[in-house]
Amino acid sequence: MRVSPLGLLVAIVIMVPIIIEMRTVFVHVGLDVSLAETALLGLAMIGAIVLWAVAPDLRGKGRSNGG
């Protein structure tokens, strides 16, 4: 896991107001987004963060940090 469970929870909590404000931005741009569409977009964004967090970190495998 790339981040701690508490860090993942904090990231999800921070995403909630961002998702709500994105709906406001869409309305100002002229796009009418329903509550269900906003919820779907939010679930997709949170799902992407969760998938990233639980994916194994493959960076640096097989490399040494010291020269």
Give 1-66 as a 3 state SS string.
CCCCHHHHHHHHHHHHHHHHHHHHHHHHHCCCCCHHHHHHHHHHHHHHHHHHHHCCCCCCCCCCCC
Task: Give me the pLDDT at residue 64, please.
Answer: 56
Give the model confidence (pLDDT) of 9-59 as tens digits. 999 999 999 999 999 999 999 999 999 999 999 999 999 999 999 988 877
pTM: 0.74
Task: Give me the pLDDT at residue 66, please.
Answer: 54
Which residue ranges make up each domain of the chain? 5-53
